[in-house]
Amino acid sequence: MRLISKLQKMSVAEITFRCSGLFCELAERIAQYAEAGKLCSYGTDVAFFQKIALKEKSADGLLNHMRTRQGVAFFVDEHNKPSMLETINKQYPRYIQQAIESGDKICRHEFSFLGIEAKYENNISWTKDPVGLKAWPMKFYADVNISDKNIGDVKHVWELNRHQFFVDIGKAYWLSGDERYAQKFFALVTSWIDDNPYNTGVNWTSALEVAVRGISWLWAYNFCLHSSFLTPEINLKILKSFYQHAQYLERHLSIYSSPYNHLIGELSALFMIGTVFPEFKEAMGWREKGWKMLEDEIEKQFHQDGGIVEQATFYHHFTLGFYLMSALLRKMNGCQVSDRVLKGIEKAMEFSMYMTRPDGLIPMIGDIDNARSIYIENPPMWNFSAFLSTGAVLFNRGDIKKIAQEYHSGSGFSEDSLWLLGMDGMKKYQEIAAVYPEITSKALDKSGYYVMRSDWNRDSHYLCFDCGEIADGLFKDSTPSAAHGHADLLSFELSAFGYPMIIDPGFYTYNGDERLHYYFRQTRAHNTIVVDEQSQAKEAGKMAWSNVPDYRLEKWITNNEFDLAIGSHDGYKPVIHKRAVSFKKKGVSPMFPEYWIIHDFLEGSGEHLVKSYFHFAPGVKAEIDGKTIVVRHPEKIGLVIQSMDSVNGRDIVTLGVDVIDTGDIPDGGWIAPGYGSLMFAPILRYQGMVKLPCEIVTAIYPFKGDVPPYSVI
């Protein structure tokens, strides 16, 4: 029935595309077993190139051509290397030391990703799960069962084979001049090509993985292009594999299967390979197709206010990074970037700026796999200020620069920005006058986030209220659809005096402990009301939702005295949940000049089990004193949380309260700050059987130092 329902919602274009994909797969399968169509000969054949100006069609001539050609620009500029090195030595000397440390780690075959540490004594086993060490089968890519739990989490082997550490080792060579880093890169990349024949094995099962790997290779290849360890034969081998990567991407674009960050990553890689290697026979077609689709997709990927339609803040920056690299590379190569793309990128930058908390991090909303499209520096998790320093230059924005400065080390001009924009970009950045954004509280109403803050200082108060769709592409009926968004309507995050206190718990893994996977996506893992143990949408398998609720923002007011957002949803049919969140900027006493009120309305009839959750940040401790909860942060700040018995003469429901800190899996008090990572953090839970309709009111007062007397509230 689900398949029939899904088919009924497909357009003729989608059905046609999917059918053509099946025919393409069949043709690839036939070619695979006939050993035809594979570029498996690594001699001097350069048939996959169009006619180019070579003195001789040989591997030697090809390498010389790649090193001396004109008219093709990339972010690594060998001609400006002396001045670039001089600038880095003077202004960013730590970059060189960090690059050397990263390069040394890779030379030792030591890798850290997705919450695991992997070390290989000898050769790297590219197809083995780094945790369980079981090998994925070497057979036609479509026959590999990537959900086989007996082997392991496919994300682990995929992450290793994204080869983003190639960027690190290439950068170490370029900055230090130490040839052993380039030697290691060429040894690793050639061993990978030998061990992973085209269309064979787990590393050819996902177009996005092929795309990220292709972009990693572009950076590393350009970093190491002039190394003495790049022989004509190795160069030809790498270029043929680049060609295969682009060929695979063109045939396997996720236009309907994963039409969001997957598709954008694939299009970006196709465009970038076509741009950097115009010598390839199909390069012009790849370049034009990739860019045309990137242009056509940008309004489908980001809301008008700049937020990602996937409703996942980490993937917001993953997608933004692909657009940013592609647009900058296109400009470098003398082609125009349309206003629609530039506007989309600028609004996405604005979204990131407004969502930034006083501690410089972004709320952990939606799914995550630690994916980074721009892989140059190594920022703290959830810190995306490097994007802002690039955006400040690209759009001449003093407000974006100011927030970049606040939360990035040094001058705020990130290492990412230095490589993407070069020294001219650094000069422009220095000339921009930094100013705080004019608006403190902001309605990002298309993506459904309402940010309330006292000011832009590091010790400010901050609240982010969620009243937007769970994710794009979901259905209100029983038709399932995959999405990275969580069932988190009317949830909120809160920081006091600059410190996160009540937070979104994040997301754990796609393929690990299923209890944790499902828990972090459910409503009970968010700071909102749960009725009768329901989630706001129905789980239809991993990552899939159906029966998503209707929602609406009923009111948004911001002024000098208060901010107010009121939203509602029908996810607990027939019960309606309405929540009003207000930030009072002029408090009840000098002791509490600012505070928040959370006012919940449950409309319906009969008795229902009602639970209200508050998930605290790690290190925060909560104590219950009657109807008052005292929340303390290690940095000598805290919250007083009180449930109200009456408001303006009306009786208000009071629920029982407890603190969950058992450490049980999955819901014993955990957050997931990154893929595969868990941290203990207590949960405050109000609960009780309630006769509807009813109202529940909670007041939250921030304090510094000692806990103030409750009687003043």
Q: What confidence tier does 52 reach under pLDDT thresholds 50, 70, 90?
A: very low
Task: Check: CB of residue 617 under 8 Å from CB of residue 500.
Answer: yes
Mean pLDDT estimate for the chain:
92
Q: Which residues of 340-357 are buried (b: 16+ CB within 10 A; e: fewer)?
A: ebbbbbbbbbbbbbbbbb
**What does 84-152 look like in DSSP terms, one character per residue?**
HHHHHHHH-HHHHHHHHHHHHHHHTTEEEETTEEEE-SSS--TTB-TTT-PBPP-SBGGG--TT-TTT-
- How many contiguous H segments (helices) and E segments (strands) does the chain have? 18, 24
Q: What sign does the CA torsion over 663, 539, 482, 464 have?
A: negative
Task: Check: CB of residue 226 under 8 Å from CB of residue 78.
Answer: yes
pLDDT at residue number 28? 85
Task: Check: CB of residue 46 under 8 Å from CB of residue 64.
Answer: no
Distance CA 469, CA 310 (A): 9
**Which residues does 197 contact at the CB level (< 8 Å), separation at least 6?**
38, 40
pLDDT tens digits, one per residue of 346-390: 999 999 999 999 999 999 999 999 989 999 998 999 999 999 999
What is the β-pairing status of strands 683-704 and 595-615?
A: antiparallel
Q: Evaluate if residue 651 carries a pLDDT over 80.
A: no
SS3 525: helix
Q: At what angle do helices 385-395 and 339-355 cross, to 10 degrees?
A: 140
Between vectors from CA 20 to CA 19 and to CA 21, what angle results, nearest 5°? Answer: 90
Q: Evaluate if residue 442 carries a pLDDT over 50.
A: yes
**What does 336-379 look like in DSSP terms, one character per residue?**
---HHHHHHHHHHHHHHHHH--TTSPPP--S------SS-SS-P
Q: What confidence tier does 330 reach under pLDDT thresholds 50, 70, 90?
A: very high
- Which amino acid, one-letter code, is at 128? K
**Which residues does 140 contact at the CB level (< 8 Å), separation at least 6?**
28, 29, 32, 33, 199, 200
Q: Evaluate if residue 142 carries a pLDDT over 50.
A: yes
Q: Evaluate if residue 40 carries a pLDDT over 70.
A: no
Distance CA 351, CA 80 (A): 34
**Which residues does 355 contact at the CB level (< 8 Å), separation at least 6?**
313, 362, 363, 444, 449, 451, 464
Q: Evaluate if residue 100 carries a pLDDT over 70.
A: yes
Residue whose C-alpha is closest to residue 488's, from 462, 464, 467: 467
Distance CA 92, CA 375 (A): 18
**In the chain, % of residues over pLDDT 70:** 93
pLDDT at residue number 410? 65
Q: Which of 78-87, 153-162, 274-283, 668-677 has the lowest mean pLDDT?
A: 78-87
Residue 551 exposure: Cα atoms within 13 Å on the Cβ side: 26
Query: What tokens does 427 get?
Result: 């000069």
Distance CA 149, CA 153 (A): 7
pLDDT tens digits, one per residue of 492-541: 999 999 999 999 999 999 998 999 999 999 999 999 999 999 999 999 99
Q: Evaluate if residue 24 carries a pLDDT over 80.
A: yes
Mean pLDDT computed over 16-41: 70
Q: Evaluate if residue 38 carries a pLDDT over 50.
A: no
pLDDT at residue number 470? 97
Region for 390 from its dihedrals, namely left if φ exceeds 0, alpha if ψ lies in -120 to 50, beta otherwise: alpha
SS3 644: coil
Distance CA 205, CA 148 (A): 13
- Domains of the chain: residue spans and CATH: 38-276 (1.50.10.100), 445-712 (2.70.98.70)
Task: Check: CB of residue 146 under 8 Å from CB of residue 202.
Answer: yes
pLDDT tens digits, one per residue of 203-251: 999 999 999 999 999 999 999 999 999 999 999 999 999 999 999 999 9
Q: Which residues of 462-493 are buried (b: 16+ CB within 10 A; e: fewer)?
A: bbbbbbbbbbbbbbeeebbbbbbbbbbbbbbb
pLDDT tens digits, one per residue of 55-88: 446 889 899 999 999 999 999 999 889 999 998 9
Residue whose C-alpha is closest to residue 467's, from 444, 441, 440, 434: 444
Q: Evaluate if residue 666 carries a pLDDT over 80.
A: yes
pLDDT at residue number 37? 42
Mean pLDDT computed over 45-53: 53
Q: Which of 84-93, 397-406, 686-695 has the lowest mean pLDDT?
A: 84-93
Q: Evaluate if residue 553 carries a pLDDT over 50.
A: yes
First vs last C-alpha separation in the chain: 56
Between 4 and 369, residue with greater pLDDT: 369
pLDDT tens digits, one per residue of 446-490: 999 999 999 999 999 999 999 999 999 999 999 999 999 999 999
pLDDT tens digits, one per residue of 103-127: 999 999 999 988 889 999 889 999 9
Distance CA 594, CA 441 (A): 14
Q: Which residues of 70-91 are buried (b: 16+ CB within 10 A; e: fewer)?
A: eeeebbbeeeeeeebeeebeee
**In the chain, % of residues over pLDDT 90:** 82
Distance CA 521, CA 541 (A): 12
pLDDT at residue number 26? 81
CA distances for 50 relative to 57, 110, 148, 191, angstroms: 11, 40, 42, 27
Counted residue by residue, the chain has a size of 713
Task: Check: CB of residue 577 under 8 Å from CB of residue 490.
Answer: yes
Distance CA 486, CA 367 (A): 7
Residue 666 is given by DSSP the state: T
Q: What confidence tier does 30 reach under pLDDT thresholds 50, 70, 90?
A: confident
Mean pLDDT computed over 606-628: 96
Q: What confidence tier does 36 reach under pLDDT thresholds 50, 70, 90?
A: very low
Q: Evaluate if residue 700 carries a pLDDT over 60.
A: yes
